[in-house]
Amino acid sequence: MAVPKKRTSKMKKRQRRSHHRLAGLNLARCAHCGAAIRPHRVCHNCGQYKGEAVVQMDDF
Ligand SMILES: [Zn+2]
């Protein structure tokens, strides 16, 4: 089994992990009600997708 020859320094470890943060959410506006929505998903406020009511919101 491969074994590291040298212990990784704190700096090298932290430099490597500096890229591990999560990217922020990409948000768009609902064309119908203007609420912030995630792209390619039904609007949670009005149930519309691409200008069509695909979820009847009074069901919930
Ligand atoms: Zn909406």
Q: What are phi and psi of 12, to 5 degrees?
A: -65, -40
Residue 33 located in a structural domain: yes
DSSP helix/strand/coil, 15: helix
Q: pLDDT tens-digit profile of 33-47? A: 989 999 999 999 898
Q: Tell whether 54 is covered by a domain.
A: yes
Give the DSSP H/E element, type plus range, for residue 11: helix 10-17
Give a yes or no: residue 51 inside a domain.
yes
Q: How far is the CA of 32 from the centre of ligand 1 (A)?
A: 5
pLDDT of residue 10: 98
pLDDT in tens, 12-27: 999 999 999 999 999 9
Question: Domain count of the chain?
Answer: 1
Structural domain includes residue 10: no
49 found inside a domain: yes
Ligand 1 center to 21 CA (angstroms): 30
Q: Domain limits at 42? A: 28-60
60 within a domain of the structure (yes/no): yes
